[in-house]
């Protein structure tokens, strides 16, 4: 397995309407690594994912993806090398799109099949992926009729369609019931444990949804507001909390400690690791 850098974020900051959303973000992901991007809701994970998937550009700093600096290379060429599964992407498909077409268009990184054409071999691969994720019966149906669990598995199949060098899965179990979540978790564990050079980034805010095979973690927390600029509630004069930043990156087991998560969530937290799965409780 090679040791090539797939993702690199150098002192990245992103601002929206003069508010700093994330700042001082540094991260390096190499080939074959399985990363979890973890943190509370509203901390800036989706903003970071937007950059990793070439959908958002930094306000400051540099982002390198597959050897190219974001903003200085054709993002459409990069997107065909990146597999993305996210709820936001899922909402971009036409309601009447056939799930089979939703998968096969992963090759060209477009949402909605228009004038593009695909070979019988490519459709055969799309069918096989749907079959692998136990949703082969969805061929011929319409995207708007799918359950959340079905849609999630279709999007993961699409993300894998082009055999991407970088796979990004943003909160893939959101909105699923227990059965649907566990079906998706089996899929994610297969991806985590596969022997390949593909780099994988999974975004979640729940420890219970970290699959087997993932061994690196980047934890996002809030950058403290300087005391002279903070109110008694710990927010700035405009009513905004501190910007999100990466407070830890490295081996998973070293990152998920009682002390670290207690500081992150502002309450005593106990972390457990049993039967290959993580969980956490307030104590």
Within 87-232, strands assigned E span: 166-170, 199-204, 216-222
Distance in angstroms (rounded) separating the CA atoms of residues 12 and 167: 21
CATH architecture of 1-81+165-182+192-258: 3-Layer(aba) Sandwich (3.40)
Q: Which of 217, 164, 218 is nearest to 191 (CA)?
A: 164
Give the CA angle between residues 225, 9, 55 to the nearest 5°.
95
Whether the CA torsion 142, 144, 147, 151 is positive or negative: it is positive
Buried b (16+ CB within 10 A) or exposed e, 130-147: beebebeebbebebeebe
Give the CA-trace dihedral at 210, 29, 190, 273, to 10 degrees. -30
Residues of the chain with CATH 3.40.50.300: 1-81+165-182+192-258
Q: For each of the chain's 283 residues, which pLDDT tens digit applies?
A: 567 999 999 999 999 888 899 999 999 999 999 999 999 998 999 999 999 999 999 999 999 999 999 999 999 999 999 999 988 888 899 999 999 999 999 999 888 877 788 999 999 999 999 998 889 999 999 999 998 888 988 999 999 999 999 999 998 887 778 888 888 888 889 889 988 999 999 999 999 999 999 999 999 999 876 555 545 455 554 556 678 999 999 999 999 999 999 999 999 999 999 988 999 999 8
Rounded to two decimals, the pTM is: 0.89
DSSP 3-state assignment of 134?
coil
The 3-class secondary structure across 70-122, one letter per residue, is CCCCCHHHHHCCEEEEEHHHHCCCCCCCCHHHHHHHHHCCCCCCCCCCCCHHH
């Amino acid at each position: 397995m090679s040791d090539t850098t797939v993702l690199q974020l150098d002192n990245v900051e992103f601002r929206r309407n003069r508010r700093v959303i994330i700042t001082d973000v540094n991260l390096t992901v190499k080939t074959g690594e399985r990363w979890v991007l973890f943190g509370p809701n509203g901390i800036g994970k989706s903003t970071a994912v937007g950059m990793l998937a070439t959908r958002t550009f930094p306000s400051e700093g540099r982002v390198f993806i597959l050897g190219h600096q974001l903003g200085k290379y054709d993002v459409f060429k990069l997107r065909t090398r990146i597999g993305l599964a996210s709820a936001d992407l899922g909402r971009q498909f036409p309601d009447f799109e056939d799930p089979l077409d939703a998968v096969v268009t992963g090759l060209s990184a477009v949402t909605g099949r228009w004038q593009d054409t695909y070979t019988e071999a490519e459709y055969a691969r799309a069918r096989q992926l749907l079959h692998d994720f136990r949703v082969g019966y969805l061929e011929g149906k319409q995207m708007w009729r799918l359950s959340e669990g079905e849609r999630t598995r279709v999007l993961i199949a699409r993300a894998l369609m082009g055999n991407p060098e970088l796979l990004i899965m943003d909160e893939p179990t959101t909105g699923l019931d227990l059965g649907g979540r566990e079906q998706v978790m089996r899929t994610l564990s297969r991806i985590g444990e596969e022997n390949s050079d593909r780099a994988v980034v999974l975004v979640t805010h729940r420890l219970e949804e970290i699959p087997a095979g993932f061994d690196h973690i980047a934890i996002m927390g809030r950058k403290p507001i300087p005391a002279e600029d903070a109110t008694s509630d710990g927010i700035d004069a405009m009513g905004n909390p501190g910007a999100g930043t990466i407070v830890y990156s490295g081996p998973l087991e070293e990152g998920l400690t009682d002390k670290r998560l207690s500081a992150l969530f502002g309450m005593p937290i106990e972390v457990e690791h049993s039967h290959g799965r993580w969980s956490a409780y307030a104590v």
